[in-house]
Amino acid sequence: MQVVVWNENRHEKTNPVVADIYPEGIHGAIANFLKEDEIEVTTATLDEAEHGLTEEVLKQTDVLVWWGHQAHDEVEDRIVERVHQRVLEGMGLVVLHSAHFSKIFKKLMGTTCDLKWREADDKERLWVVDPSHPITEGLGEYIELEKEEMYGEHFDIPAPDQLIFLSWFEGGEVFRSGATYQRGKGKIFYFRPGHETYPTYYNKEIQTVIKNGVKWVSPASTPTPTYGNVKALEQITEK
Amino acid sequence: MQVVVWNENRHEKTNPVVADIYPEGIHGAIANFLKEDEIEVTTATLDEAEHGLTEEVLKQTDVLVWWGHQAHDEVEDRIVERVHQRVLEGMGLVVLHSAHFSKIFKKLMGTTCDLKWREADDKERLWVVDPSHPITEGLGEYIELEKEEMYGEHFDIPAPDQLIFLSWFEGGEVFRSGATYQRGKGKIFYFRPGHETYPTYYNKEIQTVIKNGVKWVSPASTPTPTYGNVKALEQITEK
Amino acid sequence: MQVVVWNENRHEKTNPVVADIYPEGIHGAIANFLKEDEIEVTTATLDEAEHGLTEEVLKQTDVLVWWGHQAHDEVEDRIVERVHQRVLEGMGLVVLHSAHFSKIFKKLMGTTCDLKWREADDKERLWVVDPSHPITEGLGEYIELEKEEMYGEHFDIPAPDQLIFLSWFEGGEVFRSGATYQRGKGKIFYFRPGHETYPTYYNKEIQTVIKNGVKWVSPASTPTPTYGNVKALEQITEK
Amino acid sequence: MQVVVWNENRHEKTNPVVADIYPEGIHGAIANFLKEDEIEVTTATLDEAEHGLTEEVLKQTDVLVWWGHQAHDEVEDRIVERVHQRVLEGMGLVVLHSAHFSKIFKKLMGTTCDLKWREADDKERLWVVDPSHPITEGLGEYIELEKEEMYGEHFDIPAPDQLIFLSWFEGGEVFRSGATYQRGKGKIFYFRPGHETYPTYYNKEIQTVIKNGVKWVSPASTPTPTYGNVKALEQITEK
Would you write out chain D's pLDDT as a tens digit for each of its 239 residues? 999 999 999 999 999 999 999 999 999 999 999 999 888 999 999 999 999 999 999 999 999 999 999 999 999 999 999 999 999 999 999 999 999 999 999 999 999 999 999 999 999 999 999 999 999 999 999 999 999 999 999 999 999 999 999 999 999 999 999 999 999 999 999 999 999 999 999 999 999 999 999 999 999 999 999 999 999 999 999 98
Report DSSP letters for B51-110, one per residue. GG--HHHHHT-SEEEEE--S-GGGS-HHHHHHHHHHHHHT-EEEEEGGGGGSHHHHHHH-
Distance from CA of B150 to the nearest CA of C (A): 17
Would an 8 Å CB–CB cutoff place B81 in contact with chain A? no
Distance from CA of B84 to the nearest CA of A (A): 9
Helix (H, G, I), strand (E, B) or coil at C43: strand
Give the pairing type, strands A116-128 and A142-152: antiparallel
> What sign results for the dihedral spanned by CA atoms D13, D18, D20, D21?
negative
pLDDT tens digits, one per residue of A17-31: 999 999 999 999 999
Mean predicted lDDT score pLDDT of chain A:
98
State whether A182 and B158 contact (CB < 8 Å).
yes
Q: What is the pLDDT of residue C100?
A: 98
Q: What is the pLDDT of residue B230?
A: 97
Q: What is the pLDDT of residue A171?
A: 98
pLDDT tens digits, one per residue of B224-237: 999 999 999 999 99
Q: Which residues pair with A92 in a beta bridge?
A: A63
Would an 8 Å CB–CB cutoff place B208 in contact with chain C? no
Cβ pairs A/D, distance under 8 A: 74
Residues B83-99: what's their mean pLDDT?
98
| A11 Cβ contact list (under 8 Å, min separation 6) | A18, A26, A69, A70, A196
- Residue A214: which of A141, A138, A107, A135 has the closest Cα? A135
| Fold exhibited by the domain C2-110+177-217 | Rossmann fold (3.40.50)
Residues B177-194: what's their mean pLDDT?
98
- Residue C116: which of C169, C70, C60 has the closest Cα? C169
In chain B, which residues have their Cβ closer than 8 Å to the Cβ of C125? Answer: 233
CA distances from C196 to A44, A113, C10, C105, D238 (A): 57, 39, 10, 19, 19
Contact partners of C by the rule of 3+ C-beta pairs under 8 A? A, B, D
Complex ipTM? 0.97
Which of A143, A153, A169 is best to mutate for the C interface (most C CBs within 10 A)?
A153
In chain B, which residues have their Cβ closer than 8 Å to the Cβ of C134? Answer: 220, 222
- Residue C87: which of C62, C68, C57 has the closest Cα? C62
Residues B122-151: what's their mean pLDDT?
98
The H-or-E segment that residue C28 falls in is helix C25-35
Cβ pairs C/D, distance under 8 A: 134
Q: How confident is the model at residue C59 (pLDDT cuts 50, 70, 90)?
A: very high
Report DSSP letters for A110-145, one per residue. -S----EEEEEEEEEEEEES-TTSGGGTT--SEEEE
The H-or-E segment that residue C80 falls in is helix C77-89
Residues B101-108: what's their mean pLDDT?
98
Cα–Cα distance, C30 to C11 (Å, whole number): 16
CATH 3.90.1150.10 fits B2-111+178-217, yes or no: no
Cα–Cα distance, B189 to B210 (Å, whole number): 9
In this structure, are residues A113 and A106 in contact, taking their beta carbons and an 8 Å threshold?
A: yes
Burial environment of residue D100 by CB neighbours within 10 A (0 to 12, 13 to 18, 19 or more): buried
Q: Is the pLDDT of residue B182 over 90?
A: yes
Residues A118-129: what's their mean pLDDT?
98
Q: How far is CA B115 from the centre of its chain?
A: 16
Cβ count near C227 (within 10 Å): 15
Cα–Cα distance, A164 to A132 (Å, whole number): 9
Degrees to nearest 5, angle at CA B236 with B233 and B237: 160
pLDDT tens digits, one per residue of C147-175: 999 999 999 999 999 999 999 999 999 99
Q: What is the pLDDT of residue D52?
A: 98
CA distances from A210 to A5, A89, A128 (A): 11, 22, 14
State whether A88 and B112 contact (CB < 8 Å).
yes
Q: How confident is the model at residue B40 (pLDDT cuts 50, 70, 90)?
A: very high
Cα–Cα distance, D72 to D70 (Å, whole number): 6
- Residue B232: which of A171, A151, C171 has the closest Cα? A171
The H-or-E segment that residue C57 falls in is helix C55-59
Q: How confident is the model at residue B79 (pLDDT cuts 50, 70, 90)?
A: very high
Helix (H, G, I), strand (E, B) or coil at D136: helix
CATH 3.40.50.880 fits D2-111+177-217, yes or no: yes
In chain D, the residue whose alpha carbon lies closest to the alpha carbon of B155 is: D129
In this structure, are residues A130 and A150 in contact, taking their beta carbons and an 8 Å threshold?
A: no
In this structure, are residues D109 and D131 in contact, taking their beta carbons and an 8 Å threshold?
A: no
- B227 vs A116, A183, A229: nearest CB: A116
Tell me, what amino acid is at D60?
Q
Which of B128, B129, B170, B235 is best to mutate for the D interface (most D CBs within 10 A)?
B129
Cα–Cα distance, B103 to C3 (Å, whole number): 44
Q: What is the pLDDT of residue A39?
A: 86
- A172 vs C125, C152, C154: nearest CB: C125
The H-or-E segment that residue D236 falls in is none
- Phi then psi for residue A236, to 5 deg, are -105, 130
Q: How far is CA C35 from the centre of its chain?
A: 17
In this structure, are residues D182 and D92 in contact, taking their beta carbons and an 8 Å threshold?
A: no
- B154 vs D141, D154, D155: nearest CB: D141
Q: Is the pLDDT of residue B74 over 90?
A: yes
In this structure, are residues C153 and A166 in contact, taking their beta carbons and an 8 Å threshold?
A: yes
Q: What is the pLDDT of residue C39?
A: 86
Write down the pTM of the prediction. 0.98
Residues C110-127: what's their mean pLDDT?
98
In this structure, are residues B208 and A97 in contact, taking their beta carbons and an 8 Å threshold?
A: no
CA distances from D44 to D31, D50, D107 (A): 11, 10, 20
In chain C, which residues have their Cβ closer than 8 Å to the Cβ of D123? Answer: 236-237, 239
Give the pairing type, strands D186-191 and D174-183: antiparallel
In chain A, the residue whose alpha carbon lies closest to the alpha carbon of D160 is: A161
Q: Is the pLDDT of residue B39 over 90?
A: no
Cα–Cα distance, B208 to C159 (Å, whole number): 31
Q: What is the pLDDT of residue B131?
A: 98
In this structure, are residues A199 and A24 in contact, taking their beta carbons and an 8 Å threshold?
A: no
Cα–Cα distance, B155 to B117 (Å, whole number): 10
pLDDT tens digits, one per residue of A17-69: 999 999 999 999 999 999 998 889 999 999 999 999 999 999 999 999 999 99
- Phi then psi for residue C220, to 5 deg, are -125, 170
Give the pairing type, strands D162-169 and D174-183: antiparallel
Would an 8 Å CB–CB cutoff place B182 in contact with chain A? yes
Cα–Cα distance, B18 to B12 (Å, whole number): 5
Tell me, what amino acid is at C75?
V
Cα–Cα distance, A219 to D132 (Å, whole number): 8
Burial environment of residue B64 by CB neighbours within 10 A (0 to 12, 13 to 18, 19 or more): buried
Degrees to nearest 5, angle at CA A85 with A84 and A91: 85
In this structure, are residues A133 and A157 in contact, taking their beta carbons and an 8 Å threshold?
A: no
Q: What is the pLDDT of residue D141?
A: 98
- Residue A154: which of A94, A119, A110, A112 has the closest Cα? A112
Cα–Cα distance, D171 to C234 (Å, whole number): 5
What are the residue ranges spanned by the domains of chain D? 2-111+177-217
In this structure, are residues C115 and C167 in contact, taking their beta carbons and an 8 Å threshold?
A: no
What proportion of chain C, given as a percentage, has pLDDT over 90?
98
Mean predicted lDDT score pLDDT of chain B:
98
Cis bond before residue A11 (omega within 30° of 0): no
Would an 8 Å CB–CB cutoff place C109 in contact with chain D? yes
State whether D225 and A170 contact (CB < 8 Å).
no
Cβ count near C71 (within 10 Å): 14
Q: How confident is the model at residue C38 (pLDDT cuts 50, 70, 90)?
A: confident
In this structure, are residues A189 and A180 in contact, taking their beta carbons and an 8 Å threshold?
A: yes
Cβ count near D77 (within 10 Å): 9
What proportion of chain A, given as a percentage, has pLDDT over 70?
100
